[in-house]
Amino acid sequence: MFLVLGCLSSQPQVLHGKVVRVVDGDTLYVKLDSGEVVKVRLVGIDAPELEPELMRPGEYRGVHNITCLVKYAHIAKEFLANVTLGREVTLEFDSKQGRKDKYGRLLAYIYVNGTDVNELILEKGLARVFYEKRFDKMGEYLRIEEEARKKKLGLWSCN
């Protein structure tokens, strides 16, 4: 019985690799130590879209200025690139989310030198908490988002 249970949990909860491309403020490509390149969606956060036509009014609580949101989409992408591109990262999977989203992207927390990059993006006001599904750090991330909103940081300055 112990062997069977061991086999069920054979997928690693943590992967290591190097960021090779940043798509936007919450999506990037990582070349894993195995050599495989994977598309990764940062779990628990949602940065604005780079194209205005992909934005939905009211999507970001209290923010309706799409032009301003798109400006912060580009800032979020640049920030993510500055923090991760070309750097060694750790991908950590959430126990409440699946390993992949409906588009086949890995869903993960990204760490650079032990720092939670998803959290950093929220602290700077460059994303909102994405809570279509519950996730392990939801309470913590909601608190961080609320602080950024109160301080009118990043996209929260758009209202």
Mean pLDDT of the chain: 91
Tell me which of 49, 119, 123, 145 is the catalytic residue.
49
Among the listed residues 21, 41, 146, 149, the single catalytic one is 41
Instruction: Specify whether 41 is catalytic.
Output: yes
For the question of residue 149 being annotated catalytic, the response is: no
Active-site position among 99, 105, 134, 145? 105
Q: Quote the percentage of the chain above a pLDDT of 90.
A: 81
Long-range contacts of 109-118 (CB under 8 A, 24+ apart): 109/42, 109/43, 109/44, 109/137, 110/28, 110/40, 110/42, 110/84, 112/83, 112/84, 112/87, 112/88, 117/42, 117/80, 117/83, 117/84, 117/89, 118/42, 118/43, 118/44, 118/45
pLDDT tens digit string along 102-119? 999 999 999 999 999 999
Evaluate whether 97 touches 107 at the Cβ level (below 8 Å): yes
pLDDT band at 28 (very low <50, low <70, confident <90, very high): very high
Is the pLDDT assigned to residue 1 strictly greater than 70? no
Report the predicted TM-score, pTM, of the whole model to 2 decimal places.
0.90
Q: Do 17 and 31 touch, CB atoms closer than 8 A? A: yes
- Does residue 49 contact residue 130 with C-beta atoms inside 8 Å? no
What is the pLDDT at residue 58?
A: 80
d(CA 112, CA 90): 7
